[in-house]
Amino acid sequence: MALRGVLRLGEVAIRVLDMAEARQHYGDRMGLHEVMEDAKGQVYYKAWDEHDHHSIVLRQTDRAGMDYFAFKVFDDATLDSLEKRIKAFGLAVEHIDAGVYPKSGRRIQCVLPSGHTMQLYAHKEQIGNSLGYRNPGTTPDEGVIRGFRINRLDHALLGGINIDENAKFFTEVLDFNMSEKLIDHDSGATLVVFLSCSIKPHDIAFVLQPEANKFHHVSFLLESAHDVIKAADMIGKYRIPVDVGPNRHGITRGATIYYYDPSGNRNEVFAEGYIYYPDTPTIVWDTSELGNAVFAQDNVVRASFLEVLT
């Protein structure tokens, strides 16, 4: 397979206000698998079809939001190469020794022009998806897939300043491609950028905000749009606060529902969308079609979706 370099979004660290409520939400309701609690009380989760030890980290504090996000890269040589390119771009790089983050090899960390903390790592302990690696079959034992039936961590949308500079960093340094962007119809100013390192419409996105280092949402992949509806049934059953009911994005063409964890952090369950290849020209939307770009089934832009970030 040709995919090398940066592989995928591998980890998002979320701040929560009450760990007991967060555990019920992410574990009991959403159906992520809790894999450990560390000595600091941080709790680690994975989706059933992820092989790495964890992809979500929860930390209890007095302010909701995101501590950092991390991408997994192909190998240590890739990590070394990207460190040189990050420094050449003008960003300071911090080294994090193996084992500082549980089950993880060494990492490098930098602060993006948007104010977000990003880490890169090549190694994390793999514990599998319960199917095994020889004659695995197609379906795990009963109870492994539960809750919202989440397959894996998919992407994150982050809010901040200097998102054009972020886009330059991801495309020129990390070899991402800009799959889509939203611009202001009158001024042409960039409002949102969607960046892919894979065949997905986006692996990370940034929305322009007046404040640096804001968290819009973390998204989890489901099997189908039907599963999005079934997840919405459970969201209603458990009275989980909803931001946007089942809909479809014009941008990315993904089926979606947005809802909040008990701390006010926005989550998304997401399915479908198109297959992206690097030779596809960037799709440009402008604010004259904002409703269709954001929520194509009813063409209604919710104020909360634009204004609520943690």
Closest CA to 264 of 211, 218, 310, 201: 310
DSSP class per residue in 132-170: -SSS--SS--TTTS-TTT--EEEEEEEEES-HHHHHHHH
Q: Distance between CA 197 and CA 199 in Å, rounded?
A: 7
Task: Yes or no: say if 271 and 222 are a contact pair by the CB < 8 Å rule.
Answer: yes
- The architecture in CATH of the region 6-121 reads Roll (3.10)
Residue 310 has what pLDDT?
A: 98
How is residue 154 written in tokens? 């998919």
Helix (H) or strand (E) holding 233: helix 225-237
User: Could you tell me the pTM of the whole model?
Assistant: 0.97
Task: Yes or no: say if 29 and 149 are a contact pair by the CB < 8 Å rule.
Answer: no
CATH 3.10.180.10 segments of the chain: 6-121, 152-307
Residue 173 has what pLDDT?
A: 97
Predicted confidence pLDDT, tens digits, the chain (310 residues): 467 899 999 999 999 999 999 999 999 999 999 999 999 999 999 999 999 999 999 999 999 999 999 999 999 999 999 999 999 999 999 999 999 999 999 999 999 999 999 999 999 999 999 899 999 989 888 889 999 999 999 999 999 999 999 999 999 999 999 999 999 999 999 999 999 999 999 999 999 999 999 999 999 999 999 999 999 999 999 999 999 989 999 999 999 999 999 999 999 999 999 999 999 999 999 999 999 999 999 999 999 998 999 9
Residue 1 has what pLDDT?
A: 40
Q: Assign domain 152-307 to a CATH class.
A: alpha beta
> Could you list the active site residues?
155, 202, 217, 249, 258, 268
**Nearest 10 degrees: Cα torsion 11, 15, 18, 21:** -40
